[in-house]
Amino acid sequence: MASSSATLFKASPVKSDWLKGQSLLLRQPSSVSPFRSHVAPSALTVHAASAYADELVKTAKTIASPGRGILAMDESNATCGKRLASIGLENTEANRQAYRTLLVSAPGLGQYISGAILFEETLYQSTVDGKKMVDVLVQQNIVPGIKVDKGLVPLVGSNDESWCQGLDGLASRTAAYYQQGARFAKWRTVVSIPNGPSALAVKEAAWGLARYAAISQDSGLVPIVEPEIMLDGEHCIDRTYEVAEKVWSEVFFYLAQNNVMFEGILLKPSMVTPGAESKDRATPEQVASYTLKLLRNRFLSGGQSELEATLNLNAMNQGPNPWHVSFSYARALQNTCLKTWGGREENVKAAQDTLLTRAKANSLAQLGKYTGEGESEDAKEGMFVKGYTY
């Protein structure tokens, strides 16, 4: 992913009681497997129609391995160009290839990373020494994933909000991505709090996610279900929680309507935080409490500093928790790595070491064992970008 940094986790078997438009209520199960997903609500019948059912569950379990998370490197070429420009490099395929080679070939990366989300160019790309990017990932026991949406566009009839396009032709594209080696998919839709969110925007986001999830599973790809709650705004943490609760209720309703197999999805709720421009700040313990209260599942850390994202993840894993809480980070893994590299071949090893340091820190945080000792000043640098797109 190239959007904001993010966190991700696999849900455990739970019983859900909810209605469309109402809060999603989760009951703690008496016995929990950290690799299982939400079962369908009893009020709705969900059929596992995909011929890839067993493989989907296996892929989801692999990505949800304890101590490992997702590296999101699915920036569009334009956004990757902005990253390269920040270190004085031109946005060429050769430079994009060099940077992505640095990431996927970092020795030992698979110890901390279980999946990598790629942009379409990267899925079909080779490293600078001629090896397929996908093959390099698989050799490190990292599952290749693919960003499948076509970006955000204005949602006509809304309060200056957006919707995610890309359903047209998705079935043929996901089938081709599977043949190329991808085994999971990512679709970025967003909900804006300052602009509403309007009922229209929430419904559009939920329906689009559900259709994408159903189509992806039919092609053998595990879908990441991610309605991203944008950080923009001055709102308090309670307002974020209120909106996230409403959005996830709608998402689960439409997932069930579209017969999505819940055991073969990964849930990725945003971390529940105050708006980026709010005067009230939240501690890692507060973020953890609100986020686990929401769904006790996956979350986005977008715009936080590398250190903040890791501390919040760590706090979520330090108390009793029946869910497998992991991470799917983009900038929170790559920011310092990119600066260290600077486009210079002689800095590749140092940059890879920096990437591994951040990956290891988040691996420890996923196990609730992160202490924050020895963190650099760069790791504390905020990464919020207003109205972020990629």
Q: What is the per-residue pLDDT across 79-128, written as a single tens digit (0 to 9) for each?
A: 999 999 999 999 999 999 999 999 999 999 999 999 999 999 999 999 99
* 229/223 Cα distance (integer angstroms): 18
What's the mean pLDDT in 164-171?
A: 97
Average pLDDT, the chain: 80
Is the distance from CB of 96 to CB of 107 less than 8 angstroms?
Answer: no
Strand partners, 85: none
Is the distance from CB of 378 to CB of 336 less than 8 angstroms?
Answer: yes
Catalytic pick from 228, 268, 308, 375? 268
Task: Tell me if residue 226 is catalytic.
Answer: yes
What's the mean pLDDT in 309-338?
A: 71
Res 229 pLDDT > 60: yes
* 151/275 Cα distance (integer angstroms): 23
Of the candidate ranges 18-22, 50-54, 85-89, 364-368, the one whose mean pLDDT is the lowest: 18-22
Q: Indicate the residue type of 335.
A: N
Q: What is the pLDDT of residue 233?
A: 86
Q: What is the per-residue pLDDT across 17-34, written as a single tens digit (0 to 9) for each?
A: 222 222 222 222 223 222
Q: What is the pLDDT of residue 306?
A: 59
Question: Which is nearest to 258 in space by CA: 298, 218, 229?
Answer: 218
Q: What is the pLDDT of residue 42?
A: 37
Q: Indicate the residue type of 384.
A: F
| Structure-token pair, residue 135 | 């093959």
Is the distance from CB of 10 to CB of 60 less than 8 angstroms?
Answer: yes
Strand partners, 113: 69
* 47/250 Cα distance (integer angstroms): 19
**pLDDT band (50, 70, 90) for residue 196:** confident
* 329/72 Cα distance (integer angstroms): 5
Res 290 pLDDT > 60: yes
Res 305 pLDDT > 70: no
Q: Report the 10 Å Cβ neighbour count for 51.
A: 12
Res 386 pLDDT > 60: no
Q: Which fold has domain 6-380?
A: TIM Barrel (3.20.20)
What's the mean pLDDT in 60-77?
A: 90
Catalytic pick from 204, 226, 228, 250? 226
Q: What is the per-residue pLDDT across 133-150, written as a single tens digit (0 to 9) for each?
A: 999 999 999 999 999 999
Burial class (CB in 10 A: 0-12, 13-18, 19+), 141: middle
What's the mean pLDDT in 309-316?
A: 67
CA 286 from centre of chain: 21
Q: What is the pLDDT of residue 366?
A: 73
Is the distance from CB of 197 to CB of 189 less than 8 angstroms?
Answer: no
Task: Tell me if residue 268 is catalytic.
Answer: yes
Res 375 pLDDT > 70: no
Each domain of the chain, given as residue ranges in start order, spans 6-380
Is the distance from CB of 327 to CB of 10 less than 8 angstroms?
Answer: no
pTM listed for this prediction? 0.75
Q: Report the 10 Å Cβ neighbour count for 153.
A: 10
Q: What is the pLDDT of residue 40?
A: 38
